[in-house]
Structure 1
């Protein structure tokens, strides 16, 4: 009777617990869930809430309650981890999803309490990798969210050592939330998560849970990918690598890490301006040895560059176009057996350089078999600088080609109107010169 009375008191305390630490844990079917209890605790309870009913899964002060209401299937999968105070549920199923609670006492005082919300999903989709673009709006996809199924969005800190999650929205009814200096919003029809004012200094991993009748059908992870920004420079030029850190209130000062394409690493001292919060790395008069990867770090990688220093190249060619036309840009010195890539710096993107293929920023671009690039249905947004770098197998730049793609102004320097006007002015000037010479000769003849 004493044991039953003690158990009733402990359960009552557990039910009234509203300040316990809460963890959200995701698992796939057939994985396991481990409860790690403090070793110094006198006695602990692990229980599960099923509706209004509470099932005691484990009572450390008793080997196993003979009258336990725990289903037999679950009893067979509950094991204690040898030589530790940890307990585990093996071979999880979707029906194991729910709220689990831990509470421990030492000399009658509660010394540990924690709530664990477990979601077991039937399957995990492919990881969606999203390029980090500072201060822009991005949409994280949620495949499988059709058929009017419920969707829950969770996030996890990039540096989190625990495999725990938090809700993007405080409750299931919210669809807009401002947090971490950014805004989250669920897109209608697709259930994608739209993140506005994205800051690379606060990076999370996100997952969407596709739910049906409160059970997780599938989960889909979205992970931010630090795709390196490609930078091409010729020997002797200056390379300025920006580190977009805007708020260091909770972050360590930025530092730069350099890694050659062969894998050798090194630290780079910061050179830049602190007053305008620009932590740029300025490389003056670059050499071929400056080629490699550059990473601006705080507590996380904030910005990643791949710098290719090429031998000196000839002056850039100028290619003119009218809207709707097609243009072919040549990659000089390219031959089979060598790699090549194109990068593009738009006049409208604040100087940011894009890889034309990996970033998929252009739908009207295709490569040709001779290393050239064809841009169709040209518009004003296609104006800018285009580089092609030819790379050998050791990732050394052998040569580079630069082309300036400019819109043909109907009345500009390169227009037909301008050419006709120049021709007409040239003819008039020639006629004027002839007239002056004729008048001069006649005057001299008359004077003689």
Structure 2
């Protein structure tokens, strides 16, 4: 298991008399949960629902007083940290008994109220990534589902590491739900989640909880990754990003945005093409073009200028080793390929859809990439991009992989030349022999004397 992760949630802009809203926090057993006092609130009252009854757990302004209503077991696991005049309350060593619905009421300059459901699971599995495209039907698996366990599907729009979840289906009876992301339906035979006509404008997270009555056995998170195209350039060049929608009007032009902070909220253009000239390293970013319901994503990577490419020759079946220039220990190289097979687009070699993945081996100790059983389809440019701690490109290098054997039209010409060459050599030899013989006869003929 990973190190104990502190689950925290971020409080957004506070508005007077906010209506209560349920948010779901998923925690691992023995982990901790942190509640942060809102900046503009003087104190808060934390309560818990037990059936229809609401029990007051603690008042932040009188937590340690003798009249505190906080349960003794909770007090022993509760710690308070103050930073920048904001207090945070951490409940440590969570157990299944901490699962339930809590209510937070805060007052001061604002009135704040929110319902939070904490679900403590025995196991939280590694997040599964699924790459999707808009308009398709997607089946999300619920791994480990069994007939004797109940299933709960959750979703999150959060772009933070610690997501706050909501229920896909509003109640236990409904198993079909329509929303802006498409039509969701639980597949009874597999407990999976099927989403029809998927529409995505941001990364989406789902989570399948396996429940034994009211106790969470395991959590199975799934991330829907939006497809994006990698654009690789060097400093000083010009990048042109194309919005794929060919038709648009002045009333609804495409909108270009780039990643800023935690979301794509920085608008950078409204034309069919986004032109970025005289590129600098800080132009590296994620960009999106949205028109109607279609979104195209790009990842622009700008690297320092590099030297000329290296050339590797191969015969079919060989093993080829690529060296990453500029690599140094502690930095992991990222390898990409650009070839006719990829329509001159850069593709990440370790992508799950790459036809090369099963034949690749990356050495972390010396930055080498080894490609085994090479074929003609593997020809192209192999790029190594090295990222620094701030995710900016610090160096790049490329290797052109070429076959020793000619192919295509060159192969045809090579074959013709190869077949004609022996005949030409025979003819040349005959000519040379004939010339030599004629020359010898001329030398042997007696010279004529003058009369």
Superposed CA deviations along residues 81-119 of structure 1, whole A, max 9, x for unmatched, are 345443332221121010111223459xx8222211111
Secondary structure class of the residue paired with 1:126: coil
Verify the 8 A CA contact 1:154 1:206 in the aligned structure 2: yes
Match of 1:96 among 81, 86, 98: 98
Q: Is residue 352 of structure 2 the alignment partner of residue 370 of structure 1?
A: no
Aligned equivalent of 1:389: 380
Q: Is residue 180 of structure 2 the alignment partner of residue 209 of structure 1?
A: no
Q: Is residue 159 of structure 2 the alignment partner of residue 168 of structure 1?
A: no
Aligned equivalent of 2:47: 47
Superposed CA deviations along residues 161-198 of structure 1, whole A, max 9, x for unmatched, are 87422222222322221212422222233222222323
Verify the 8 A CA contact 1:251 1:298 in the aligned structure 2: no
How far, CA to CA, are the matches of 1:178 and 1:38 in structure 2?
34
CA shift in 2, pair 1:115/1:345, >3 Å = same
Secondary structure class of the residue paired with 1:396: strand
Shift of 1:223: 1.9
CA shift in 2, pair 1:118/1:255, >3 Å = closer
**Any unmatched runs of 5+ in structure 1?**
1-16, 233-238, 258-266, 274-278, 284-291, 312-329, 374-385, 405-448
Aligned equivalent of 2:440: none
How far, CA to CA, are the matches of 2:271 and 2:253 in structure 1?
18
CA shift in 2, pair 1:250/1:80, >3 Å = farther
Scaled by the length of structure 2, the TM-score of the pair is: 0.55
Verify the 8 A CA contact 1:20 1:114 in the aligned structure 2: yes
CA shift in 2, pair 1:54/1:250, >3 Å = farther
How far, CA to CA, are the matches of 1:162 and 1:250 in structure 2?
35
Scaled by the length of structure 1, the TM-score of the pair is: 0.56
Match of 1:297 among 269, 283, 288: 288
How far, CA to CA, are the matches of 2:322 and 2:112 in structure 1?
64
Superposed CA deviations along residues 365-411 of structure 1, whole A, max 9, x for unmatched, are 989943127xxxxxxxxxxxx6742426554251578999xxxxxxx
Verify the 8 A CA contact 1:389 1:400 in the aligned structure 2: yes
How far, CA to CA, are the matches of 2:284 and 2:165 in structure 1?
32
Verify the 8 A CA contact 2:58 2:70 in the aligned structure 1: no
What is the number of residues matched between the two proteins?
331
**Any unmatched runs of 5+ in structure 2?**
1-16, 233-238, 260-265, 278-282, 303-307, 309-314, 324-334, 361-370, 385-395, 409-451
CA shift in 2, pair 1:98/1:403, >3 Å = farther
Superposition RMSD in Å? 5.5
Verify the 8 A CA contact 2:21 2:115 in the aligned structure 1: yes
Secondary structure class of the residue paired with 1:164: coil
The 5-angstrom pairing of residues 134-283 of structure 1 reads 134-159=134-159, 163-225=163-225, 229=229, 242-243=242-243, 253-255=255-257, 273=272
